[in-house]
Amino acid sequence: MHLSEEIGTRLQEERKRCAKTQNELAEALGIAKRTQANYESGASDATAAYLSKVATQFGFDVPYILTGVRTTLPLDSLTSVEDSLLKHFRTIPEDDQKAIWRILRAMSDDAVRTKK
């Protein structure tokens, strides 16, 4: 598979994750359905303007589309509580972050064991 086809496949994955058809996405972005289809098939390379729009409007993970490595969470994936926890976590010293990580990992391991 060529790089353009790999990128197209990942672009299609992101579109499906957003529960959009090619027509719906193309219409929302103001492009032709054929253009969307060409991007997803790898027949055409997506433009920077297009990638910027899908990232901004739909939360597409553009680094994932281009490289195959997930780097971000979908924009709406965190609740307000999770977002607040993350912001607070980032303000504490690294040693405290490691301690919290150990506690959370232990709690998660316990939760998994009790489900069995």
Domain encompassing residue 44: 3-67
Of 34 and 2, which is predicted with more confidence?
34
pTM: 0.61
Q: For residues 46 and 39, is the Cβ–Cβ distance under 8 A?
A: yes
Domain membership flag for residue 25: yes
Domain membership flag for residue 73: no
Does the pLDDT of residue 110 top 80, yes or no? yes
Amino acid letter at 6? E
Average pLDDT across the chain, whole number: 89
Q: Which CATH number is 10's domain given?
A: 1.10.260.40
> What does the alpha-carbon distance between residue 6 and residue 104 come to, in Å, rounded to a whole number?
36
Amino acid letter at 48? A
Number of domains in the chain: 2
> What confidence category does residue 106 fall into, taking pLDDT thresholds of 50, 70 and 90?
very high
- Please check whether residues 41 and 13 belong to one and the same domain: yes
Cα separations in angstroms, 42 against 1, 20, 35, 38, 68:
10, 19, 11, 6, 15
- Give the mean model confidence (pLDDT) for residues 92-102: 91
- Please check whether residues 62 and 86 belong to one and the same domain: no
Q: For residues 20 and 12, is the Cβ–Cβ distance under 8 A?
A: no
Does the pLDDT of residue 88 top 70, yes or no? yes
